[in-house]
Amino acid sequence: MLKLDGESLSIEDVARVARRDETDIRISDEAAKRVERSRRLVDKWVASGETIYGITTGFGEFANVSIPTEQIRQLQQNLLRSHSAGVGEPLAPEVVRAMLLLRANALAKGCSGIRLVAIEQLLKMLAADALPVIPSRGSVGSSGDLAPLSHLALAMTGEGFISLPGSDSAQRSTLPAHEALAIVGIPALALEAKEGLALINGTQMMSAIGCLALHRAKQLADLADIAAAMSFDALRATDTAFDARIHRARPHRGQQYVAEHMLQLVAGSEIRKSHLDNDPRVQDAYSLRCIPQVHGSVRDTIEFVERVLSTEINSATDNPLIIPDEEGDDGVHLEGGNFHGEPLALALDYLAIAISELANISERRTERLVNGALSNGLPRFLTPKGGLNSGLMIAQYTAAALVSENKVLAHPASVDSIPTSGNQEDHNSMGSIAALKLRNVVVNVGSVLAIELLCGAQGIDFLKPLKPGKGSEKAYQLIRERVPFLDEDRNISEDIAKLVELTDGGSFVQKVTEIVK
């Protein structure tokens, strides 16, 4: 069981819930008490007629419009309806699950003035896998992800649409929200004061996509080292560049880690031993020699972004915040800007740039593998019957295309801003755009690394009976269980797809790591 307290949720927790590996999620007793304390304050202020943004006033530029007490409930429902203005393809189910979880955790901090029943509604829908249909475009990422979260919250009230799982796990059916809620036995939520605003003011779309992208990026960092080790063996490279003394002289943490990791992966390589005494080469090309510096810098970036995301997913990100005093009998409401997505926008842009570099350097190693002038004796395009067969020639084209696409996607979204709400909201982060671009970059990087693995395994085959390092050897065996040696031309797309599937999810990396650690 995962207990939400608004303080200790991890990125791994988010990934598990998004994959449906964890479905029993509840709010902790202490968090529930905090939620109830802040709710009592909202009820008290509403009863006394106090003016509070978004509770007894309109929203955005309408903050100067007072709302009569008898219209407060309608105000909250109207907020969800008017702000559900998203367009584009719906967010993937794993992203919506993460959003439901993250919104519940943010509300569990007890700073939002929402009723406990509203948080429980989020968790019930998550447990039933009743997922609001949320268009992916429409957030400018500063008053939170207003449009996406409005679609999420509107579904909680029985309006909008919800997707339910079908008999085939790959298929889902979309129904009007009130019908879907009835099927899973969850009553529609009737909003009270502050609750619509509390549900939609936040960064949960960009946080959800960011957490899942970061989780995959960490796997890709390990996968890139493994792919590089296979290329190292296939290209008969030297391991001098991984010597710990080099990296102690420039002690970036990621660089030192990758240098050690590479030595572990190529340890015991018969291929390396075979040319130790008669190799005329003094040093390898940068794509091999500088693996620790490039891969290590990516790891340092991942570490930074993980700190940002870990803080964000355990933060209160709506407005106004309700802060009870120590006794819980009184408190304050504070109007601020914790919903602004700038911390995430910058970090997610940074991660997209960094993770793109894993693909950039990987494609260069793939080029060396297939280029007869650079491959240190491997047959051109890694085919034994060149001319009649083109071998892996076009696999490198595909890697090049994906790398070029990533260069466009890595342009930062956070440098842009367009004012909204009559210039009341005059600086916007575009964090949701950064997140969506990052998600595409991560997918592309996985395919580029799969292509390098495909070419590396093919190259190692031409050097038999010599064996590669123990990490490369284990990776080679796992690859050959899915994709046989390319003796005659065949549909390479299928081979790449099989390796993307093999390396997605972490088990491939784990099996190789168990051999070398």
- pLDDT > 70: percent of the chain: 100
Comparison of pLDDT for 304 and 45, the residue scoring more: 304
Looking at residue 48, which CATH number applies to its domain? 1.10.275.10
Q: Are 116 and 256 members of one domain?
A: no
CA distance 162 to 287: 47
- pLDDT (average), residues 288-303: 98
Which 3-state string (H, E, C) describes 7-37? Answer: CCCCHHHHHHHHCCCCCCEEECHHHHHHHHH
Q: What number of residues does the chain have?
A: 517
Question: Does the structure show a pLDDT above 90 at 329?
Answer: no
Contact between 31 and 51 (Cβ < 8 Å): no
Structural domain tally of the chain?
Answer: 2
Contact between 322 and 345 (Cβ < 8 Å): no
Q: Are 198 and 247 members of one domain?
A: no
Contact between 196 and 79 (Cβ < 8 Å): yes
Would you give the DSSP letter of residue 137?
Answer: E
What is the tens place of the pLDDT at every residue in 107-119?
999 999 999 999 9
In a domain, 493, yes or no: yes
What is the tens place of the pLDDT at every residue in 333-379?
998 999 999 999 999 999 999 999 999 999 999 999 999 999 999 99
CA distance 321 to 324: 10
Question: Does the structure show a pLDDT above 90 at 70?
Answer: no
Question: Does the structure show a pLDDT above 90 at 83?
Answer: yes
pLDDT band at 238 (very low <50, low <70, confident <90, very high): very high
Pairing of strands 131-132, 135-137: unpaired
Question: Does the structure show a pLDDT above 70 at 328?
Answer: no
In a domain, 326, yes or no: no
Looking at residue 491, which CATH number applies to its domain? 1.20.200.10
pLDDT at 425: 80
Answer yes or no: 476 catalytic: no
Phi, psi of 484 (to 5 degrees): -75, 170
Would you give the DSSP letter of residue 60?
Answer: G
Q: Are 118 and 159 members of one domain?
A: yes
Q: Which domain holds residue 297?
A: 211-317+334-516
What is the tens place of the pLDDT at every residue in 4-42?
999 999 999 999 999 999 999 999 999 999 999 999 999
- pLDDT (average), residues 149-155: 98
In a domain, 328, yes or no: no
Q: Are 78 and 54 members of one domain?
A: yes
Question: Does the structure show a pLDDT above 80 at 281?
Answer: no
pLDDT at 166: 86
pLDDT band at 438 (very low <50, low <70, confident <90, very high): very high
Q: Which of 202, 230, 257 is the last residue of a domain?
A: 202
Q: Are 271 and 390 members of one domain?
A: yes
pLDDT at 435: 97
* Four-residue CA torsion sign, 77, 78, 83, 89: positive
Q: Are 153 and 246 members of one domain?
A: no
Window from 69-73, 93-97, 122-126, 193-197 with minimum mean pLDDT:
69-73
pLDDT at 471: 97
Question: Does the structure show a pLDDT above 70 at 169?
Answer: no
Q: Which two tokens stand for residue 499?
A: 């390796």
Q: Which two tokens stand for residue 90?
A: 């719906």
- pLDDT > 90: percent of the chain: 83
Mean pLDDT of the chain: 94
Of 53, 257, 350, 476, which residue is the catalytic one?
Answer: 53
What totals of helices (H) and strands (E) does the chain contain, helices first? 20, 9
- Distance (Å) of CA 502 to CA 138, 454, 477, 478, 509: 34, 12, 12, 8, 10
Q: Are 190 and 228 members of one domain?
A: no
Q: Which of 177, 202, 227 is the last residue of a domain?
A: 202
CA atoms within 13 A on the CB side of 304: 19
Phi, psi of 475 (to 5 degrees): -60, -40
What is the tens place of the pLDDT at every residue in 384-437?
999 999 999 999 999 999 999 999 999 999 999 888 888 878 888 999 999 999
Residue 349 neighbours by CB under 8 Å, 6+ apart: 410, 412, 413, 414, 434, 438
- pLDDT (average), residues 66-94: 92
In a domain, 322, yes or no: no
Q: Are 397 and 274 members of one domain?
A: yes
Q: Are 277 and 194 members of one domain?
A: no
CA distance 400 to 413: 23
Element (H, E) at 174: strand 172-176
Comparison of pLDDT for 282 and 290, the residue scoring more: 290
Question: Does the structure show a pLDDT above 90 at 64?
Answer: no
Phi, psi of 322 (to 5 degrees): -105, 115
Phi, psi of 253 (to 5 degrees): -60, -45
Q: Are 192 and 225 members of one domain?
A: no
pLDDT at 14: 98
Strand order in the sheet with 131-132: 131-132, 161-165, 172-176
Q: Are 190 and 266 members of one domain?
A: no
What is the tens place of the pLDDT at every residue in 464-478?
999 999 999 999 999
What is the tens place of the pLDDT at every residue in 177-211?
999 999 999 999 999 999 999 999 999 999 999 99
Tell me: cis bond preceding 412? Omega within 30 of 0 counts: no
Q: Are 112 and 253 members of one domain?
A: no
Contact between 498 and 490 (Cβ < 8 Å): no
